[in-house]
Amino acid sequence: MSANAEWQNWSGSVQAQPSRLASPRTEDELATFVRGAAKVRVVGAGHSFMPLCATTGVLLNLAELDSPIEVAADGASAWVPAGWSLKRLTAALWDRGYSLPNQGDINPQSLAGATATGTHGTGVELGSLSTFARAFRLMLADGSIVECSNEQRPELFEAQRLSLGLLGVATRIRVSIMPAYHLEERVERVPFAAAIEQFESVARAHRHAEFFVFPYADEVIMKTLHPVADAGAFKEPSASDETIFRFCCDVTAAAPAVARVLQRQLMRLIRASRRTGPAYRIFPSERTVSFEEMEYEMPRAAGLSTLQEAIAWVRKRKLPVAFPFEFRWVAADDIWLSPFNKGPGASISMHQYSKMEWRNLLAAAEPIFRANGGRPHWAKRHTLTSKDVFALYPMAERFCKVREQVDPAAKFANAHLTELFGIGA
């Protein structure tokens, strides 16, 4: 525990001076902090780009708040500690013979942080991690504990499924699980035009499909993951890829005009590859080169054309974008604050190297995604106002009513969320 600490997020773009940073080990300790503070936020791995965790009050981390993993008799769900990282959780589930139905690009995030923001992977029929949460054990502002699910306090549950940490502190989550599975990963270079044409068939033929495209390259990196029965030996991904990529980013930062040539050269180094292994080890990649990211969740039918429009926009203005765009599909859901709640989605991520100007770049590109019906990932860079939030999310008012009922003094709000949801206005 430390008083008047400095805190910053993964990319370093959000900094805060909480009055106290603490890692309670029990719910009793947690209750003491929650009762005693006027303002409380919880941080998982701090991987959000938006100031979701920034606070001048108490900042709590639940990584050390351990509790048992309890698998339901039907093997379809398990109560697990909310503050564990996905890395720790998926390894522990694997040891018991289970996997999560899907994961995103990396695994340091806490389960609670991932579900609180609608974190997702890719898959035609696979929803975000928020859709895997079937029940929550939640500490409310007065330090009391409640459970919510479809059956118990269903309104609170609906709001909590994607809550940005505004309703209370999740100490345990009942998540969907499935029998442990192995995956085959295939990576190959595909011409950009062919990727656009073929993505639908590739995505339908594989459990997971996505591609990365540098704005100035003519080819994309297509990645598919598909279940396999016999996995063979697991091979770690090559660390040298990140080293070369970091070098290219540094060169682009120093001499932005080289981006076009450099990205085409870089693509030539990409070799087709195949590896297999336990799902929880194949899903995550290493991301050691720091970036800032904006991600828009598009109606699926508008996904590929919006990506093409965004890339044409970058090229036309000769903008120095050092990182590739990422394109994924995510299933529809019915969560009040989910950007996928209007139908199947296509997710477009636009990244920029942390050492280069990103704020104006991302904000200038944002209207392209908005004009095509997109809604942003809550944890990634966006410039939505409170007016936008209520226009884009018909259920936001109901969410705010639930929030007002469980936390009338807005103990769990911070400046960013107060503004975004018009709290106290």
Ligand X SMILES: Cc1cc2nc3c(=O)[nH]c(=O)nc-3n(C[C@H](O)[C@H](O)[C@H](O)COP(=O)(O)OP(=O)(O)OC[C@H]3O[C@@H](n4cnc5c(N)ncnc54)[C@H](O)[C@@H]3O)c2cc1C
Segment interacting with ligand X, rule: CB under 6 A, options 35-43, 87-95, 186-194, 351-359: 35-43
Plot region of 405 (φ>0 → left; ψ -120 to 50 → alpha; else → beta): alpha
Q: Which stretch binds ligand X (CB under 6 A): 106-114, 187-195, 354-362, 402-410?
A: 106-114
Interaction of residue 109 with ligand X, rule CB under 6 A: yes
Q: How far is the CB of 218 from ligand X (least distance, A)?
A: 25
Range in contact with ligand X (rule: CB under 6 A) among 67-75, 104-112, 141-149, 270-278: 104-112
User: Which of 54, 116, 175, 304 touches ligand X by CB under 6 A?
Assistant: 116
Indicate the residue among 83 and 303 with the shorter CB distance to ligand X. 83
Piece of the chain touching ligand X by CB under 6 A; list 103-111, 141-149, 220-228, 352-360: 103-111
Residue 104 sits in the site that holds ligand X (CB under 6 A): yes
CB 256 within 8 A of CB 209: no
- Cβ proximity to ligand X, 25 vs 268, nearer residue: 25
Query: Nearer Cβ to ligand X, position 290 or 308?
Result: 290
Sole binder of ligand X in the list 23, 102, 119, 354 (CB under 6 A): 119
Closest distance between ligand X and the C-beta of residue 316, in Å? 28
d(CA 124, CA 205): 10
Binding residues for ligand X, total number by CB under 6 A:
33
Residue 236 main-chain phi, psi, to 5 deg: -65, 145
Task: Tell me if 339 sits within 8 A of 297, measured CB to CB.
Answer: yes
Among 226, 235, 264, 287, interactor with ligand X by CB under 6 A: 287
CA distance 211 to 43: 30
Min separation Cβ 416 and ligand X, Å = 9
> Buried b vs exposed e over 266-295: b needs ≥16 C-beta within 10 Å?
bbeebeeeebbbbbbbbbbeeeebebbbbb
| Closest distance of CB 329 from ligand X, Å | 13
| Interface with ligand X, residue 113, by CB under 6 A | yes
Q: Which of 105, 184, 185, 219 binds ligand X (CB under 6 A)?
A: 105
* Sheet hosting strand 169-176, strand order edge to edge: 70-71, 77-81, 169-176, 133-139, 145-149
Residue pair 350/314 in contact (Cβ under 8 Å)? The answer is no
Please say which residue, 10 or 353, places its beta carbon nearer to ligand X: 10
- Beta carbon nearer to ligand X, 264 or 290: 290
Distance (Å, whole) CA 172 – CA 137: 5
Report CA dihedral (226, 227, 228, 233) to the nearest 10 degrees. Answer: 80
Q: How far apart are CA 56 and CA 224, in angstroms?
A: 43
Is residue 120 a contact point for ligand X (CB under 6 A)?
yes
Scanning residues 36 to 55, which ones bind ligand X (CB under 6 A)?
Answer: 41-48, 52-53
- Three-state secondary structure call for residue 199: helix
Question: What is the rounded distance in angstroms from the CA atom of residue 419 to the CA atom of residue 425?
Answer: 9
Adjacent-strand bridge partners of 170: 138
- Would you say 46 or 57 has its CB closer to ligand X? 46
Both tokens assigned to 88: 């720790």
Compute the half-sphere exposure of residue 164: CA atoms within 13 Å on the CB side of its CA.
27
Tokens of 350: 């636009």
Minimum CB distance to ligand X, residue 402 (Å)? 14
Residues 6+ apart with CB under 8 A from 226: 183, 184, 186, 206, 207, 208
Site pattern 135..174 for ligand X (x: CB under 6 A): -----------------------------xx---xx----
Give me the least distance between CB of 103 and ligand X, in Å please. Answer: 8
Chain positions 208 to 267 lying near ligand X, rule: CB under 6 A, are none
- Binding residues for ligand X, rule: CB under 6 A, are 10, 41-48, 52-53, 62, 82-83, 104-106, 109-110, 112-114, 116-117, 119-120, 164-165, 169-170, 287, 377, 379
